[in-house]
Structures are given as structure tokens and as C-alpha cells.
């Protein structure tokens, strides 16, 4: 093949289905981690996938901290325990017991934790695409997180994002300089299984919203303009909800 251009064709059917399967069966993993190590080869692929995410102005603002040290993990876990207790009190009383019963991290059980950061100064003060919307660099680091998460699903690994802690505590525990923002703290490892649905959904915390209620045409609030597309969305969502493939 001419190396100068990649043909803009759909992937072969099985590969195309695989991409959607990774997207649809990716789960946030907390309680199912196995202690088995993740090979350097596999972890390497996940980091390469993350590093090939899109970024504003090709800024690549991310760095990746690979955390295996029990003492470091314990500091982060301690920060979680404190914030988790504080968070419970922020929910209405009738939801507190459910909140407390949820497993919301796997920091110590996961063999490896990854912190993905954002260096807001990586490409100088003026960045293509960030000139008018400053948060675009943070969004770029989140794109790296999603690439990592989907690649992990393809590898049969679990990833759990933990954000219930004071970020400055995590910043200190990992010795991250002040000017670098910790964007995502991820627990990573082999897992016993994937839950078929988001755990918060199974726990009755929140339902998946009907996609058609989230789609607008040409202007906010114009929601019924394309009944055929909306019908297709309903059918696909029904298939997905029944655990079927969407391709």
C-alpha cells in the first residue's frame, strides 16, 4: 500500500464490530481486580494507545505516572477513604446508605495504578485551538484516558477511574509539580469479569438516559425533526440494552 495515504474505508466487518464491542462492553472496574501482573508489553500498548489520542494544537499535554509502590497507593487510598466519608454526607439522607455500600475504587487491589496528567504549559502560552477555550488541554488529556480505557478493554483488562479525593493530596503523594494537573487516577489490572451494565445502574443509582432525549437538530430544543434517525437510535439502544451487538 502507498504509505503516504491510508484508504478511508470502513474496517473489515470483524474489526469494525470489535471496535464497537470494546466501546459497548468497557466498564468502570472496582471490585473485580486480580493480583496478576500486567505484562510490560500489554501496558506498553495501552500507553501507546493513550499517547496517540487527539490533542488540541497537537499539544500532547499528558504524562503518565505508573504506580506500583504499595506505600504510594496507600497514601492515595487514605485520601479516598477521607473524601468518601465526606462525600456521603453531601447526598440526601435517603441515598447515603446506598452510596456507602457502593465499591468506588480498587486502588490497593489493582496491581498497577496510572495517573494521567495535563501540563498546561507544554506548548507555550498560545496553542492552536486553545486560544479561546482554555480547558481544551484538559479535555485532550481526557481523550488519552479514553484511548487507554478502550485499549484496556480490548486487552481484557479492567480500568477504574477514581476521583473521590482531594487532588492536592494525590499531587503531593505522587510528587507532581504544582503546574501539572492530575487529570485521572486509574486502577488497572486483570479482572474476574466485566459487569454487563454500569454498576451504578444495577445499584438503582441512575438509569442510562434515552439517547433520543439528548439529540437536537440545528438548534437546542429542536428534538423531533428527524424521526428516522431517532427511530434508528431507539432500535440500536434497545439492541444494546438487551446485550446485543450494534453491528
Q: How many Å is the Cα radius of gyration of the chain?
A: 20
The distance of Cα 55 from the centroid of its chain, to the nearest Å, equals 16
Determine if residue 12 is left, alpha or beta; phi over 0 gives left, psi from -120 to 50 gives alpha, anything else beta: beta
Among 37-45, 155-163, 215-223, 233-241, the segment contacting ligand FNR (CB under 6 A): 155-163
Binding of residue 153 to ligand FNR (CB under 6 A)? no
Binding of residue 139 to ligand FNR (CB under 6 A)? no
The binder of ligand FNR chosen from 17, 200, 203, 247 (CB under 6 A): 200
CA distance linking residue 176 with residue 189, whole number of Å: 23
* Residue whose entry in the numeric block shows the C-alpha cell 509502590: 69
Closest approach, Cβ 30 to ligand FNR, in A, equals 5
Neighbours of 122 (CB within 10 A): 17
Closest approach, Cβ 161 to ligand FNR, in A, equals 4
List Cβ neighbours of 87 (8 Å cut-off, separation of 6 or more): 99, 164
Q: And the C-alpha cell for 17?
A: 464490530
Closest approach, Cβ 129 to ligand FNR, in A, equals 22
Q: Which is nearer to ligand FNR, 32 or 105 (CB)?
A: 105
Among 107-115, 119-127, 156-164, 238-246, the segment contacting ligand FNR (CB under 6 A): 156-164
Of the candidates 179, 186, 172, the one whose C-alpha atom is nearest the C-alpha of residue 29 is: 186
Nearest residue by C-beta to ligand FNR? Answer: 198
The binder of ligand FNR chosen from 122, 198, 239, 247 (CB under 6 A): 198
Give the contact letters, 9-28, x = binds to ligand FNR (CB under 6 A), - = no.
------------------xx
Closest approach, Cβ 105 to ligand FNR, in A, equals 6
For 7-164, list the strands marked E by DSSP. Answer: 64-67, 112-119, 157-162
Amino acid at each position: 500500500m502507498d504509505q503516504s495515504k491510508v484508504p478511508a474505508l470502513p474496517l473489515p466487518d470483524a474489526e469494525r464490530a470489535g471496535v464497537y464491542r470494546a466501546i459497548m462492553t468497557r466498564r468502570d472496574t472496582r471490585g473485580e481486580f486480580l493480583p496478576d501482573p500486567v505484562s510490560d508489553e500489554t501496558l506498553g500498548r495501552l500507553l501507546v494507545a493513550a499517547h496517540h489520542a487527539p490533542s488540541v494544537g497537537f499539544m500532547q499535554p499528558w504524562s503518565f505516572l505508573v504506580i506500583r509502590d504499595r506505600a504510594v497507593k496507600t497514601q492515595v487510598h487514605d485520601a479516598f477513604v477521607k473524601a468518601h466519608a465526606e462525600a456521603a454526607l453531601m447526598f440526601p439522607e435517603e441515598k447515603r446508605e446506598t452510596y456507602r455500600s457502593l465499591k468506588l475504587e480498587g486502588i490497593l487491589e489493582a496491581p498497577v495504578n496510572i495517573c494521567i496528567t495535563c501540563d498546561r504549559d507544554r506548548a507555550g502560552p498560545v496553542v492552536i485551538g486553545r486560544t479561546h477555550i482554555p480547558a481544551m488541554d484538559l479535555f485532550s488529556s481526557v481523550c488519552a484516558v479514553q484511548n487507554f480505557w478502550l485499549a484496556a478493554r480490548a486487552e481484557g483488562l479492567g480500568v477504574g477511574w477514581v476521583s473521590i479525593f482531594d487532588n492536592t493530596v494525590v499531587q503531593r503523594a505522587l510528587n507532581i509539580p504544582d503546574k501539572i494537573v492530575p487529570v485521572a487516577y486509574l486502577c488497572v489490572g486483570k479482572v474476574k469479569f466485566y459487569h454487563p451494565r454500569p454498576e451504578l445502574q444495577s445499584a438503582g443509582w441512575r438509569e442510562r438516559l434515552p439517547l433520543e432525549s439528548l439529540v437536537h437538530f440545528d438548534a437546542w430544543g429542536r428534538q423531533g425533526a428527524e424521526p428516522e434517525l431517532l427511530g434508528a437510535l431507539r432500535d440500536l439502544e434497545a439492541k444494546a440494552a438487551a446485550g446485543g451487538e450494534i453491528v
